[in-house]
Amino acid sequence: MLAGMAKRFSTGQSLDLTPMGEKSLLPQSTPRQEPGRRYRYLLATTLVVISFYLLSRDNALYLNVGRGQHLAAGCSQVAPVTPERNAELLGKFSDVIGTPDFKTKAIDWLAGAVQVPTEVFDAMPDPGQDSRWEAFGPFHDYLLNAFPLVHSTLSLTKVNTYGLLFEWTGSDSSLKPILLAGHQDVVPVEPKTYADWTHPPYSGYYDGEFIWGRGSSDDKSGLIGIMTSIETLIGLDFKPTRTVVLAFGFDEEASGRHGAGALGEAMRDIYGDNHPFALIVDEGGGFAESYGTVVATPAVAEKGYLDVHVEVTSPGGHSSIPPEHTTIGILAALLVEYDNNPHPFELSRESIPYNTLQCLAEHGATMPKSFKKLIQHSAHSKHALRKLQDVLHEDKAYRSLIGTTQAIDIIQGGVKSNALPEQAYALVNHRISTQSSVAEVQAHDTALLKDLATKFNLTFTAFGTKLTEPPAYGTLEIKDAYGTALAPAPVSPIRGEGSEAYQLLSGTIKSTFSAHRAGLAGPKEVIVAPGMSTGNTDTRYYWQLSRSIFRYNHKNTIGADNRLRGVHTVNEAMSAEALLEMIRFFSTLILNADESTTV
């Protein structure tokens, strides 16, 4: 999920994505370089913090906009937040999770979850219509046996057969509940890669440091972290004042329609659809070290999404008498037009990546002064902002991070070498900047291809609207490929009115980080900066449930030994120590939210 960055700008080579912690990201002294190259060199580590999840979700990068929020106003920090009424309980909890017995139990709980394969595949029909869904039955049985206190104390509703909706009912119904979310499913393991795994992908093997296996990081660690926290709190006789709801989908890796889609609908029926939850925390990033400072980046929004189906038809025939342009040739020309005309690129002061840069400039202990000055000056200087934008634009990762992207991922046409194809199509995937919209991307694509449709004498239909009339040589149609267009997510408030949940989360992150390192060497403080997810989580179905949605589960990615390993590929593994810290985070968040008077 997280990649360390190093770039050899002096030779003009592209960004080198190497595992974080394997080498120094910045030299002790910066070599003399021309200004543009020097700034690009200094930007090398910034993407580490801005782009949690960099290697997941199709490697799509992301941008977000603080709609109406003045995000460039600095990077003020809140104090660590710890419970007062439940301070003694938190102390007991800390004592418990510090014992060897608890560590062994936590490791066993995650290892056992990994040992139950819950793979999902694209385009699976509804539960009950495909036997592959039945893998979730044994997983539910495992959770029931592993967490008896959760199942005997919380109410459980199974939604669409395999969605899990728990409610831990609080004593004060006037307080908005909190929602903790995760997903039960994992991406499939390619059988041909089994031999490449250090330990078998569904072994749950613990080597003394890591728990190995598919889902150990994404996202059974999050689910088990939440369940372990609640099982332990119940064991310590904690009874919540504020209701806690858990929602665990079962097809997040395949868009979440059956799982979170049904869970979201169920929760709207139960709790209402006018933001009934004080906050939502779903899977997401954690914290990393950048410029000598540890920075946590809870994602406060997500990009939009649109798959565009581009289809050309024209008369067939024998290939020995070809027309001037074949169906595939016409489609090729359209795709070249796409490649030659990317979406406009603009760095906005109101964007989340820009806000993260400002946080790094304000708090990065080792950030070189020249780079710090450029970032700070860009807050009030259009010239500096353009210069920073130009620097970012020269790197493909940053171009993808800041703007709307387009990628031609599928192409198909023709069945025989001597037959002219009557039809050919391609699929263009867009990840939409939150400065844009689905409608704006559709308009861009329509305008982009309209002249070529005229040139090739094609009847052009764009997203259901016929723009040219027959007679014509053939047709061109562009449409939402799967009917899954998704607008950019609303941005969770991080400043001013409505930002109380973000402040509570930030304070919880800080107190968890410090408490987990009490008495140990190394950093004791963490800076919190708003981040963004690269892909789309199950929260796409929860927008009406809360204005404060965060994709964050406090994963420790400092150093090579704690980086996120093998997500969606071979050798996925989760550090046992990182799992324990995650459990501490969820428990502290529950206790802090329980006595908060502001969220």
Beta strand residue intervals within 277-418, DSSP E: 279-290, 293-296, 299-302, 304-313, 317-318, 405-413
CA-to-CA distance for 576 and 564, rounded, in angstroms?
12
Q: Any binding-site annotation on 282?
A: yes
Contact assessment for residue 564 and residue 213, using Cβ atoms and an 8 Å cutoff: no
- Please indicate whether residue 122 is annotated as part of the active site: no
Q: Write out the H or E segment, with its range, that includes residue 461.
A: strand 458-462
C-alpha to C-alpha distance for 272 and 288, rounded to whole angstroms: 37
Q: Please tell me what DSSP assigns to residue 310.
A: E
Polymer length in residues for the chain: 599
- Residue 253 is labelled as binding a ligand: yes
How many CA atoms are closer than 13 Å to the CA of 203, on its beta-carbon side? 15
Indicate which residue of 185, 231, 251, 350 is catalytic: 185
- Measured CA to CA, the distance from residue 334 to residue 461 in angstroms comes to 14
Residues 219, 231, 251, 252: which is the catalytic one?
252
Question: How far apart are the C-alpha atoms of 577 and 581, rounded to whole Å?
Answer: 6
Phi, psi (rounded to 5 degrees) for 309: -90, 120
Q: Is 363 annotated as a binding residue?
A: no
- Alpha carbons 80 and 91: distance in angstroms, whole number: 16
Q: Is 22 part of the annotated catalytic residue set?
A: no
Q: What is the dihedral of CA 504, 106, 188, 304, to 10 degrees?
A: 0
CA dihedral 447, 450, 455, 459 (to 10 degrees): 180
Query: Are the C-beta atoms of residues 547 and 498 closer than 8 Å to each other?
Result: yes
101: annotated binding-site residue? no
- Angle at which helix 100-114 crosses helix 136-146, to 10 degrees, equals 170
* Binding-site residues: 183, 218, 253, 282, 568
**Binding site membership for Zn(2+): which residues?**
183, 218, 253, 282, 568
User: Residues with catalytic annotation?
Assistant: 185, 252
